[in-house]
Every structure is written in C-alpha cells, then in structure tokens.
Homo-oligomer: A and B are copies of this chain.
C-alpha cells in the first residue's frame, strides 16, 4: 500500500532532507519512525531535497508499507515517535501517487529583515539585510524572472539536473514594518527548481533592492553563468511552503 505524508520541520538542527552518513537528516529521522511503525525498514521518498538548515512547512513524501492502521491515523503514529523539530501534518492513502514525479508546482518563501542590528527573535527563520531594500525595484526585477527561462546561471555547481530550463509562475515581494525593523518575504512559485536556485534568486533580488540595477539578471540569462549575480542567501531564511499536485491525496489545502 502506498501512503503520502505532509511533513513540516525546523531545519536548524538537520543536515538537510537526504539521508547521509554521520549526520542527522529529516529522511533518516522519518525512516527511523517508519521502521518502528511498520516493523520493517521503509524507504521514504521526498518531493525534493532541502539543504541543511532549510525549513519546511509542507514537504510531501511517500512510502510503501503494509499496515492495518487507517491511513489518516498514521500521522499520530509518526508524531508519537518523532523528535519535536519534525512533524507529520497529514497522512493519506495514495495509491498510484508519486510525490516526486507528480509535483506540479512548488512554493518557496524566503524571509529577511532590515534592522540596525540582529534581532534575536528573527534570526532563526530569517536573515538580516545590511541595507533597507527598495521593494518596488525588487518587484520590477522579479518580473524578469517570471516565465520559462534557462536558469542555468541561478544554479549552484553540483546539480545533476538534465536541463536548466524552468518555469516560474510568480515571484512576489512583501514588506512589513514591525517596530524599528522591516520584514521581507519573497514568495516564489514554480514548476521546479535547480540547486540553490531560490537562495541565489533571493540574493539577487535583495541586491537589486539595494541599488544594483537589473543588468545582473539580464547578463546572467544571456551568459548562462553566475558571474553577474550576487551572493547565495543563507539557508535559514528559506522555507519550502507547499508542493502541489494535479490529484493530491490530501484534497485541497486551505489557505
């Protein structure tokens, strides 16, 4: 029987999604709980990997196992065994579902803030900017990224992707004032993403917001390399918010 899970985790103390030697990962942690529940080793497949330190609200994964426990109750079985920084938010029967191949759209959110010094209460899930960016300039630059493009320049080396052509459906920039600080959110929705793509893209948008201009983005698309782009933003500001499917085993998620 195939089951699908929606998983949320605080990435701070994980070396990312993918199982690896001598490091605590989300996949290994979930597989450890699964082995206890199903009494046999169970492989858990994620919709995609997240890097060390990246957080997730709606990572989707699937597994094949046999159990008499009703699918919706698997959530509780996992949560009784998992450490506090990872939780199964939903579980469902998912015959014929493939969380990786079936993924149609993913939404990532990048969080940052501008303040005169680090704010301890913001540092876990966002990154401080050295200057206050101009969000109108960021929004104009974001428009250049929307659509189907070869995002080869927005990809860290080490990627094994066959093609670097990807489609972004939307790139939204929000600013919110909170006391003496300004908080920023870049929401990126796309059909798929290359390695470090959102963190590179966010770094460039913040650079544009701080006066860099959009020539770097145009040059990056033209040259297909990262030379004209700014820095990769730190992992802790990144959240995998949701993964969407044509036929989700969970029904529609409320927003």
Q: Interface on A for B, CB 8 Å cutoff?
A: 8-10, 55, 57-58, 75-76, 79, 84-90, 115-121, 123-125, 177, 179-180, 239, 242, 253-255
Contacts and interface: CB of A to CB of B under 8 A. Distances in A.
Given A57-B119, A87-B119, 9 more contacts: A10-B120, A57-B121, A57-B179, A88-B117, A89-B116, A89-B117, A177-B254, A179-B242, A179-B255
19 contacts: A8-B119, A10-B120, A10-B121, A55-B121, A57-B121, A75-B116, A75-B117, A76-B117, A79-B117, A79-B118, A84-B120, A84-B123, A85-B120, A89-B117, A90-B180, A121-B239, A177-B254, A179-B253, A179-B254
A9 B57 contact: no
In the complex, the count of this chain's copies comes to 2
A160 to B, nearest CB: 29
Residue from A9, A55, A116, A121 having most chain B Cβ neighbours under 10 A: A121
- Which 9 interchain pairs have the tightest Cβ spacing? A10-B120, A85-B120, A87-B120, A79-B117, A8-B120, A87-B118, A87-B117, A9-B120, A10-B121
A84 B128 CA distance: 13
Residue from A57, A88, A255 having most chain B Cβ neighbours under 10 A: A57
A27 to B, nearest CB: 16
Contacts of A120: 8-10, 84-87
A90 to B, nearest CB: 8
Contacts of A84: 118, 120, 123
Contacts of A119: 8, 57, 87, 89
Contacts of A118: 79, 84, 87
Contacts of A57: 119, 121, 179
Nearest to A239: B121
Given A89-B116, A116-B89, A121 B179 contact: no
A118 B82 CA distance: 11
